[in-house]
Amino acid sequence: MALIKCPECSKDISDKSEKCIHCGYPLRSSNGGYPSTSSYENRETKVLTERTSKDIKKQFIIAKILLYFSAIIIIIGLLTNPPIGIFGVILFVVALVINAVAKFSKFWDHD
């Protein structure tokens, strides 16, 4: 038994393993041979899609939190101190930009 490096995570694994014990990367197909290149590409595409999807969801969550927070600051600023309201408007614009970037990313990366 020899140790080899996983092509996906670069950690040491047994050359007898069917898949990486660390990341689950397939090392051998069901017929005992090595998986085809297309299965590697399909897995990489799936992982990339999952990562971008999670990143886009994080952007939407951050944008929503900033929108609500800026709305509260704008209302407080209007009632008490106008400079605080200006900070709220700036924060609101930043939140709108983050939201627009997330929507564009969703459109660009996913069909």
Q: Give the number of domains in the chain.
A: 1
Residues 6+ away with beta carbon under 8 Å from 31: none
Check if the beta carbon of residue 105 is closer than 8 Å to that of residue 56: yes
Residue 1 within any structural domain of the chain: no
Average pLDDT, the chain: 76
Residue 52 within any structural domain of the chain: yes
pLDDT digits (tens, 9 = 90+) for 69-104: 888 888 888 888 777 778 888 888 888 888 888 888
Q: Which amino acid makes up residue 66?
A: L
Residue 80 within any structural domain of the chain: yes
Structural domain harbouring 63? 16-109
Q: Model pTM? A: 0.47
Give the separation between CA 62 and CA 92, rounded to whole angstroms.
12
Residue 40 reports pLDDT greater than 60: no
Question: Between these two residues, 78 and 36, which has the higher pLDDT value?
Answer: 78
Residue 2 within any structural domain of the chain: no
Q: What is the pLDDT at residue 42?
A: 59
Q: What is the pLDDT at residue 98?
A: 86
